[in-house]
Structure 1
């Protein structure tokens, strides 16, 4: 099934890179014959052979490359990034090419009508680019309330214009390219234009999601594009062309991101949102014209394994809750008896899963209480790092007893009290997203998680792409029964809280400084992104697994309620052990879409080890 802990774990912090050499004995054929060192003067995109048809879980071999690597959720998107890297493009260049192709081939998850968080890093710097959508300036905190004052259901809110936020991914990518691009912007759009014009094969996952979708058919443009004359989804392998999107992409290539924010296309988006017959929204031309991406300070924290190997994990700060929750979960685990427990028969033990579930409940309680757009709320204790304070996490770990707490309450981090008392946010559905990880030949890395939120977003298509439903990431109920506001309530111009967790990992040097860049990873999956990413981090850092082995591990977690286990992946005796400790256990589908690239050394050579989730269609490519 899964491999036990390898014997090749690094033996000290001074190693600074993971020694994955011993695993290569059984997979020497993965090693590339050589790496391309030259840089092409002109990038000429070649449409690759379309991916083979596949359904269900598809085991992935893991990948090893020498110079660069790219991991994305669809083979055509990965290939576009690979061709950019091969031509001498940067990690940011490759991420742009991947995103544009994903807009076409994975429209259910992300696209130019949505937003993204991008982490850029190398051995010297880490930078966070915020392309999260914003609420229209005309909204009020009652956006998702019904006439009787109660919150709408998710189904009522999502379809139509009400849920659409101001998209930001293209303008954010333009900013990142201006600072870290190597190839011309227009060249990076060419792969998506070519595929949109000449067509791509409908993948099994896209077909399956179209078949189960009802609201998308209500939009005339989407119905004409995704379904045949009888209203049936195009079959797997059908060559789908998107000339409308090709034209939009041509304009973006020529004119840049302003195409999304001013002029004809902006007017079309506003018209679509405001004229929805049943659920109109409030997006305006002023919202689009005024949108600006932001550069934020990355949220970095230490992680020390039971073997006393120190790492620095860097993630995205609020409005994302991902890095904070992951840091809290891993930090709390360090102060429980679960720290250092090995895998048992290739699986996490019941004792470890119990402690992880309790740590997750504590982290999600704090998330619901405190985390929102930092331009609108003051962090507890005056700094988001208060939630990662060592003494605070030790105190929180002390709440983990022998019987499950079921549901945790938020804590009080150190530092001055916040000027306003917030009410905790009730749990709401979160969906969607896609993740991209890239490392280039110059030592730069990107971890970018990108989204339109629910599958097919707001189910509104404009000029060949879908609009997001990102505003449903706000709390539908703005206040509690006592009138206290929820930190993540709807407010004009505000960015909704996210669970996206693009992550870069570094060594921690013996002098305390941040060392070499070691990994890029992340996942889609709504609020469960936090658990998918934490699982992979723990698997690689603490259990010594390759990224593919860590991704392959069954999924698990808690959103401060029942313990969730990936259906069919855990033996019945383990499930019963959790139940005897008071955990309510639910076995459910947990379809992560993890991508990870980690650094290692074999035979004196630095290598990149890649992994892609067997639960989806992604692959890793590189030289």
Structure 2
């Protein structure tokens, strides 16, 4: 194909088109050594810092900082490298949200969320008049949204990049072509999600042995098809993903999928745009907290959880007191009720963002919380500006996703959550990368009790997301914390818990991330992390009125960078394989 033959041209032309300020983009960037630990802190004004879910991807970002790149450059290089080494969670076949902040506290957000094909209707996941069960909706073509990560990256790079576009791809190209080792976490994903991981013949050839079993931990995997894809994108720009050969291959793959084939056109891809959105910011105690607005539910949900407990002295109670976790759970129940009622793509429905973060409204919601009892039912409220035209939908389980954070020598920060949704997305592979199953973030049932839901499927619409990339500024106006998480609907709960740990309990970002997770997504069920102090608190939580408390195994993954006393410190979730790397 023309798309593959183009590599012959690239091997010559990339050397001729090198940027004067960096090594030739066709040449390898300095090979990585052992990741430098940044847990003890690096001085403000140093080249920067990266925290990501895989040390090889963090090193890719650190290489950009080493070359004089910006936080944006480092974030893009990290995202590309994660496409290679963490294909179960994210990549160029998916989308993401990017929150950027400069040293003066100016915050920008970019929406790279996937969109439904124009042909999509509210009954998109109904076959022969019957809705697909969620597990049956995931694999194949019907769940694939138009990927957004590369348009997001290009928009961010045009505004804030310092290195050439080609340079950002070099670590990922090297990883794909020279090979990378399968980690224990990836091996577990390959074994546990074989329905998607091994669905595509190209993917099976990469990651599975002849007997159908996943390759063992430590096995070296080379992905030359992805290296070729990256080399073409590096030379021709993001447009070469959305038009031409790659767009034709992608649309054809979706339309001819062996499971759930669905119409996606090359026009759907060519028409995709990443969008700059206004950040959602609010004041919690003495801190300014900023995040991503709709179609993300992250910022409004995280802020509501925090603001609704602000009147309680969480600091004095501390993390060892069950009452702290009771209050957090009750606040989650209220925040998630509003999330299910109101949050969706604001280009299609009216989302009362200002009302959902209004201090007076959240004060009213807080008044519903008792320190010694539980709410019988957590119902959505009526924030200012709300139009009760939609029914509340039941939350849907999500998995996958990755988060990474970068800072640079100028004090700029990038908090980027990237996803292909479930483990290995839809299971379809094009050009060495997996395609997302993001459309299952829509409500499979478009109506409830005779009323439409805000997050129903519509052509061109972006599904609601839980991703919550967040920046927090201190009373001095300087960045205090950049954070985000992976784990589907648990993301706002994870992020809010970690923020409480840092701001209220004076923990390091790493220790705050390591705190156990409590998750109360509405209804009367509270989930606590199995094998932690929270599991031991179940009797105490039950005495406070939580009748149904279930311990479940963790699937959490968060990353952060904090600033303390003129030092940047990286933090990676100890449950994950993540790392913080300094240049």
Match of 2:297 in 1: 321
Q: Which moved more, 1:405-414 or 1:151-160?
A: 405-414
Aligned to 2:356: 387
Q: Which residue of 1 aligns with 2:467?
A: 500
1:423 aligns with one of 388, 391, 394 = 391
Q: Does 1:331 align with 2:333?
A: no
Is 1:475–2:443 an aligned residue pair? yes
Would the alpha carbon gap of residues 50 and 228 (structure 1) be closer, same or farther in structure 2, given more than 3 Å must change? farther
Q: How much does 1:42 deviate?
A: 3.0
Deviation at 1:45, TM superposition (A): 1.4
Residue 381 of structure 2, aligned match among 403, 411, 417: 411
1:183 and 2:163 correspond: yes
Between the aligned partners of 2:519 and 2:431, the Cα distance in structure 1 is: 39
> Are the counterparts in 2 of residues 120 and 447 from structure 1 also a CA contact under 8 Å?
yes
CA offsets per residue over residues 296-351 of structure 1, 9 Å max, x none? 000000010xxxxx11000000100011001101010013x4533332xxx34211
1:362 aligned partner: 334
Pair 1:96 & 2:64 matched: no
Query: What secondary structure, in the 3-state scheme, does the structure 2 residue paired with 1:565 have?
Result: strand
Match of 1:599 in 2: 563
List per-residue Cα deviations over 1:44-90 (Å, max 9, x = no partner): 51333588xxxxxxxx9934112211001101101111111011000
Aligned with 1:373 (options 319, 325, 345): 345
May I ask how many residue pairs the two structures share in their alignment?
Answer: 553
How far apart are 1:278 and its partner, in Å? 3.0
2:139 paired residue number: 159
Question: In the superposition, relative to structure 1, how do residues 404 and 426 fare at CA in structure 2: closer, same or farther (>3 Å)?
Answer: same
Q: TM-score, normalised by structure 1?
A: 0.86
Q: After the TM superposition, which segments of 4 or more aligned residues of structure 1 sit over 4 Å from their partners? A: none
Return the match for 1:114 from 94, 103, 112. 94
Structure 1 gaps, min length 5:
1-38, 52-59, 305-309, 510-514
1:447 aligns with 2:423: no
Identify the residue that residue 436 of structure 1 maps to in structure 2: 404
CA offsets 1:235-278 (integer angstroms, 9 cap, x no match): 11111100000000000000011121111111111111001133
Post-superposition Cα deviations, 1:401-448, rounded to whole Å, max 9, x if no partner, equal: 333225411001124x52x61000111111111001000001110000
Question: 2:41 matched to 1:64?
Answer: yes
Matched, 1:193 2:173: yes
Deviates more, 1:497-506 or 1:561-570: 561-570
Paired residues of 1:50 and 1:201 also in contact (CA < 8 A): no
- For 2:22 and 2:435, how far apart are their aligned partners in 1? 36
User: Matches of 2:231 and 2:377 in 1, distance apart?
Assistant: 51
Change over 3 Å in CA distance of 1:77–1:166 after alignment to 2:
same
Q: Could you give the per-residue CA deviations for residues 197-244 of structure 1, whole angstroms, max 9, x where no partner exists?
A: 111111111111112223132321111111112212111111110000
Name structure 2 gaps, 5 residues minimum: 1-19
In the aligned structure 1, how far is the partner of 2:75 from the partner of 2:182? Answer: 22
For 1:47, the equivalent position in structure 2 comes to 31
Normalising by structure 2, report the TM-score.
0.92
1:614 equivalent in alignment to 2:574: yes
Q: Which residue of 1 aligns with 2:12?
A: none
Residues 79, 91 of structure 2: 8 Å contact kept = yes
Query: Greater shift after overlay, 461-470 or 389-398?
Result: 389-398
Partner of 1:535: 497
* Deviation of 1:123 (Å): 2.8
Question: 1:152: Cα distance to partner?
Answer: 1.8
**1:559 equivalenced with 2:521 (yes/no):** yes
- Cα distance in structure 2, aligned partners of 1:273 and 1:616: 32
For residue 611 of structure 1, report the CA deviation from its aligned partner: 0.8
Query: Residues of 1 paired with 2:189 and 2:381: CA distance?
Result: 40
Match of 1:81 in 2: 61
